[in-house]
Structure 1
Amino acid sequence: MIKLGAGLLVAAATLVLPAVLDDSGLAVYILLGLAAMVTVGVSLLMGYAGQVSLGQGAFYAIGAYTAALLALGGVPPLAGLLAAPVVAALSALVIGTPLLRLRGHHLAFATLAMQLILLSLAGQLEFTGGDIGLQAIPQFSVGSFEVGGAAAYAYMTWGGLALVMLVTHNVITSRPGRALRALATSEIAAASSGIPVGRYKLVVFALSAAFAGLAGGIYCFYTGYVAPGSFPVLISIQYIVMAVVGGLGTIWGAVVGAGAITLLVQGLDRLASLPGMPTYAPSVLSYAVYALVLILVVLFLPNGLVPAITGRLSRDRDTARR
């Protein structure tokens, strides 16, 4: 009953907020939803499958560039948006085949290198617009209906997040989900139990990339512009911080973590824009605060915010029953 009530409350707030927020608030709300979409995939990949990736920003970029290139080429925006997660997932299958033979920090650094290579190529290739990027991307539309205004994109974003959360829930409650948890505990034990470890790692890597690709597709239509600078390396680190803060291996933890870090970043940006601040202040503050937040969470909330809160509520209920 408590979970149902909380879910209905969140759903109601999601529907009401776009109608009451101003343009700046809507921009934060949309970016929060997009970040949560990617972070759910990170939580699935790291929390359930035990695979560390510092390259989710690359798949976010792939989804954005895919949708943008198709839309600019005359393809209906809906087809471009649908192609974004598919191309991101296929890219993950190709890239993940050699990379997922690595483990731990080796895999993390390899995925980070993947993003650096991708951004370098996007900045040099002519069809991606080089460092200038792709501009004048058409508004998202379905037939004669065109999505206009930030409020419409907010509903679109959070609808996509709801879809991602539903898919993730169905995956983790299924038999493959149990296999993923076994894989995260011990790959050797999982393999000895008959679980195709390599295949499962590749599939969950592709699924998390598809989530990022979908977010990237929505992002490109919302901003109308994509460039290598839209997807810095810091963004991939940000997604991991979000997942850890909210609680790895939890769906709602990804959303809570994305909300907490997005609001924190907005506060840091305002602080960095104050008169007298150097131009490098935003990046320096971000890295410093991310490091501090991670240290504090690991020390005092090792399982993240959502597991800590739900654990506390569970203990309070048990105490009340006694």
Structure 2
Amino acid sequence: MTRFVRPAALLLVAAVTLVLPATLDDSALAVYILLGLAAIVTAGVSLLMGYAGQVSLGQGAFYAIGAYTAALLSLGGVPPLVGLLAAPVAAAVFALVIGTPLLRLRGHHLAFATLAMQLILLSLAGQLEFTGGDIGLQAIPQFSLGSFEASGAAAYAYMTWAGLAVVMLITHNVISSRPGRALRALATSETAAASSGIPVGRYKLVVFALSATFAGLAGGIYCFYTGYVAPGSFPVLISIQYIVMAVVGGLGTIWGAVVGATAITLLVQGLDRLASLPGMPTYAPSVLSYAVYALVLIVVVLFMPRGLVPALSRRPDRRPRR
């Protein structure tokens, strides 16, 4: 039955994904696109934390690098497709450069170092002239390919979810490959993996760069969709959000990124509407966001420590108890 149920479920998900952009209004489409972009970044975070055992609080920095790369190239007259392809490459190269020294750190030391990296990057983007300073880059051209121009939100929705499909396919192939088995050994014990001949440092760096590649791709799509990028578009909270999504969905699972991004995005949208009700204080949105992230993490860690996807897919034990 599993051989038939899984393909049927995939076809159903694909059909719903293709139909939704044609049925949603502009405000719902914006949420749909941002949800897909968050899932792309979260897939890299899930891979990084679930297999390499590294906690990064700086995924927003790679997201920003992808967005700024695509924006600068497009504003410079480079075809948008080239800018979109260059976005993940620039993020990966940056991850390889900074990951070489940073990945010598572990635990909270690495988390704080990646957080500092994002703060430094955003500070530089706010000061440099070619990045537009605090005002940012505006009037970014629409994405186009030949005679096709993505002028509507529906086109960016299809582009976003096509990117997510590619990311999930890459993740599936990585996990199913021989390096994927080495990564699973690495996630279990770095010492045991190293004693088995696995180059731990090299694998950690590759996964770090791969997660940055996913974030850079999402950033490239984001810049064309919004037509505007600035340091304020990539706050520290967004990196925390990706970690919460990965943990809630299930670390090291392919569908965990989609489920976690969906759950947290819809929850945040509902809280934003609640905070905008008459009589609510001006600080309500930020307070509710931080409070919800904390509560969701506490609930998941206590009752579903492996995340939603492993908890929902776990088969009940039907063996008779003695």
TM-score normalised by the shorter chain: which range applies?
Answer: over 0.9
Q: So what's the TM-score if we normalise by structure 1?
A: 0.97
Give 2:274's match in structure 1, choosing from 235, 255, 271: 271
The separation in 1 between residues aligned to 2:102 and 2:282, in whole angstroms, is 36
Q: Report the alpha carbon displacement of residue 64 of structure 1 after superposing the two structures with TM.
A: 0.3
Matched, 1:137 2:130: no
Match of 2:316 in 1: 315
Give 1:123's match in structure 2, choosing from 117, 121, 126: 126
Match of 2:214 in 1: 211
Q: Which stretch shows the higher mean deviation, 255-264 or 177-186? A: 177-186
Match of 1:165 in 2: 168
Q: Secondary structure at the match of 1:50?
A: coil
Q: Report the alpha carbon displacement of residue 264 of structure 1 after superposing the two structures with TM.
A: 0.6
The separation in 1 between residues aligned to 2:9 and 2:51, in whole angstroms, is 24
Match of 1:42 in 2: 45
Matched, 1:197 2:209: no
The separation in 2 between residues aligned to 1:225 and 1:273, in whole angstroms, is 24
The separation in 2 between residues aligned to 1:37 and 1:122, in whole angstroms, is 23
Matched, 1:244 2:272: no
Q: Secondary structure at the match of 1:315?
A: coil
Q: Report the alpha carbon displacement of residue 182 of structure 1 after superposing the two structures with TM.
A: 1.0
Q: Which amino acid aligns with 2:73?
A: L
Q: Which runs of 5+ in 2 are unaligned?
A: none
After TM superposition, which residue ranges in structure 1, 4 or more long, deviate above 4 angstroms?
Answer: none
Q: Report the alpha carbon displacement of residue 81 of structure 1 after superposing the two structures with TM.
A: 0.1
Q: Secondary structure at the match of 1:251?
A: coil
1:181-196 superposed matches below 5 A = 181-196=184-199
The separation in 1 between residues aligned to 2:271 and 2:98, in whole angstroms, is 34
Match of 1:33 in 2: 36
Q: Report the alpha carbon displacement of residue 315 of structure 1 after superposing the two structures with TM.
A: 2.1
Q: So what's the TM-score if we normalise by structure 2?
A: 0.97
Q: Deviations over 1:39-82 (max 9, x none)?
A: 00000000111111111010000000000000000000000000
Cα RMSD for the two superposed structures: 1.1
Match of 1:86 in 2: 89
Query: How many residue pairs end up in the alignment?
Result: 317
The separation in 1 between residues aligned to 2:277 and 2:72, in whole angstroms, is 37
The separation in 2 between residues aligned to 1:35 and 1:55, in whole angstroms, is 14
Q: Deviations over 1:168-218 (max 9, x none)?
A: 000010011111111111111111111111110100000000000000000
The separation in 2 between residues aligned to 1:154 and 1:208, in whole angstroms, is 22
Q: Which runs of 5+ in 1 are unaligned?
A: none
The separation in 1 between residues aligned to 2:286 and 2:113, in whole angstroms, is 23
Give 1:18's match in structure 2, choosing from 16, 21, 24: 21
Q: Secondary structure at the match of 1:248?
A: coil
Q: Deviations over 1:243-262 (max 9, x none)?
A: 11111110101100000000
Q: Deviations over 1:217-241 (max 9, x none)?
A: 0000000000000000000000000
